Chain A
């Protein structure tokens, strides 16, 4: 094959000499890798921000601040996930409380439902793009393997036309084919690591929000009992 004759074969030359399917596979993997890294950084910033805001809000909430005051403050500034849940739940509670003829149990149920809905929305936002990372992590090694198998097939096919088969004639073809596997692993490993890390982070955030919802429901129940 032609690369065997060149004295210096670098990665770039290998890629340039690769066959079209291998090139396509490499381009696909490069795009997947770029997107997955993009989402990795995006999620990293988003999750950092979410954890920071949640910490901040929990501290404020459990410091014994007035709920009405907190509610007004939340509406003004850029809110975190937990603040939006609190806003939805407390807003619904106030609205229902103002209406006559609604029992305290119904008011609590309404506030709970509102919080649940807000929680679902927030979870959806937090979990966005994670399936893409999972897909890249699980599929790109296979895509790379496909490119490698194709390249090795071509390398051995090229051998069949030669009377004397030597290692030097196959080696460049196999090397260029293995670049595809390397690329697949390069795309997959960070995606898998990031996926596992982020699912764990989101799980922790979820438990915090769920326990907050329960505790806040208890507070609302106490308020409703006091009012009644």
Chain B
């Protein structure tokens, strides 16, 4: 009786504590260990893109219906980006700033003609009075003072005019710069549009090519991969290889798959590596050739064989 009563408290307590320990553990896992593989996925995407013509048919040799199926939906979203750049509000900002600077020059010439006549009449009056001055010294002095005042006013007006002209010039310069900037923007937009169009064109061509790449291409790609895998097993890559250089050979093959000649077509730049690949091709001698004569005809008399040491990196196209 007693122990049962005693246990009840600690049992609940320890159950809660155990739960708390696990909760803590999971929080630590979820928030402490958040792995980001964004860089990786980007690399994977790039790889697939580069090897699109060769590798895609390799991976889907049998489900040929699947290969064309994803392609038709792709052109459907692609036309969408074309209308998008058209309604892009880039033409809109051009009219907006233009009306703004245009009204500015209009008020500027207006104040200038208004003040100019005032300043011209003032000097004209003392010029007329000057010939009469010879009579009285007082008048002369008064006139002189008037003249001085007029001159001062003139100077002041001139300074004002100069300042206004300067302001107008500055505004004009600013407008010109604005216009140039807008023109530049427009040109850049045009360039982006045209490059987009070009990309779309090339994409469509690629798609068309991929569509045209039928069963034959898929099989050829598959056997290329099989042959490359067999050769890869024999290649001993020298340790000082940098990057992913490609060596291209022309290989003469008998119908049985036996290699009769290996001729270097395009060196990788590293003669030791070239030699290693040559030996590997010879060592892999009965190469696995397809049974289908139509497919075998792609390999059989001679075939071009290119080899890159690091298969997980994209091979630089020759």
Interface-forming stretch among B5-13, B100-108, B163-171, B282-290? B5-13
Q: Which residue of A lies closest to B3 (CB)?
A: A125
A8 near B38 (CB under 8 angstroms)?
Answer: yes
Q: How many residues of A contact B (CB 8 A)?
A: 35
B22 in contact with A33 (CB, 8 Å):
yes
A84 to B203 alpha-carbon distance, docked (Å)? 88
B22 contacts A37, C-beta separation under 8 Å: yes
Q: 23 pairs across A/B with beta carbons < 8 Å?
A: A4-B37, A6-B41, A7-B36, A7-B37, A9-B35, A10-B33, A10-B35, A34-B19, A34-B22, A37-B14, A37-B18, A37-B21, A41-B10, A41-B14, A41-B18, A46-B10, A78-B6, A163-B55, A163-B59, A163-B222, A164-B58, A164-B225, A166-B312
Chain B positions within 8 Å of A228 at CB level: none
Are A8's CB and B34's CB within 8 A? yes
CB pair A5–B41 under 8 Å, yes or no, is: yes
Whether A168 contacts B40 by the Cβ 8 Å rule is yes
Give A residues with C-beta under 8 Å from B: 4-12, 30, 33-35, 37-42, 44-46, 49, 78-79, 125, 162-168, 175, 186
B225: nearest chain-A partner, CB-CB = A163
Instruction: Assess whether B18 is in contact with A38, with CB atoms less than 8 Å apart.
Output: yes
Out of A10, A39, A40, name the residue touching B30 (CB < 8 Å). A10
B240 at the interface (CB under 8 A from A): no
Report chain B residues within 8 Å CB of A166. Answer: 44, 311-312
CA distance A186 to B28 in the complex (A): 13
Pairwise interchain contact A40-B18, C-beta atoms closer than 8 A: yes
Minimal Cβ-Cβ distance residue in A for B312? A166
Which residues from chain B contact A45 at a C-beta distance below 8 Å?
A: 10, 13-14
**Does B2 have its Cβ within 8 Å of any Cβ on chain A?**
yes
Known pairs A37-B22, A39-B14. 10 more at Cβ < 8 A? Answer: A4-B41, A4-B44, A8-B34, A33-B22, A37-B21, A41-B17, A42-B11, A79-B2, A125-B3, A168-B312
CB of A122 to closest CB in B, whole Å: 11
Indicate the member of B21, B36, B58 with the most A CB atoms within 10 Å. Answer: B21
Contact call B14/A42, Cβ cutoff below 8 A? yes
By the criterion CB–CB under 8 Å, are A167 and B22 in contact? no
B15 within 8 A of A: yes
Q: Which residues does chain B contribute within 8 Å of A40, judged by CB atoms? A: 14, 18
- Contact call B312/A42, Cβ cutoff below 8 A: no
Q: Which residue of A lies closest to B35 (CB)?
A: A9
Instruction: Determine the distance from Cα of A49 to Cα of B44 in the docked complex, in whole angstroms.
Output: 60
Chain A residues within 8 Å of B44, by CB: 4, 166, 168
Measured CA separation A78–B19 after assembly (Å):
29
Complex: A198 Cα to B286 Cα, angstroms: 68
Q: Which residues of A contact B15 (CB under 8 A)?
A: 38, 41
Residues in B neighbouring A46, C-beta threshold 8 A:
10
Shortest distance from the beta carbon of A50 to any chain B beta carbon, whole Å: 11
B283 to A: closest C-beta gap in Å: 21
Docked pose: A44 CA to B55 CA in angstroms: 62
Smallest CB gap from B40: residue in A? A168
Given known A33-B22, A37-B22, A168-B44, contact A10–B6 (CB-CB < 8 A): no
Answer whether residue B25 sits at the interface, using C-beta atoms and an 8 A cutoff.
yes
A167 to B47, CA, bound (A): 13
From A10, A44, A165, A186, B25 is in contact (CB under 8 Å) with: A186
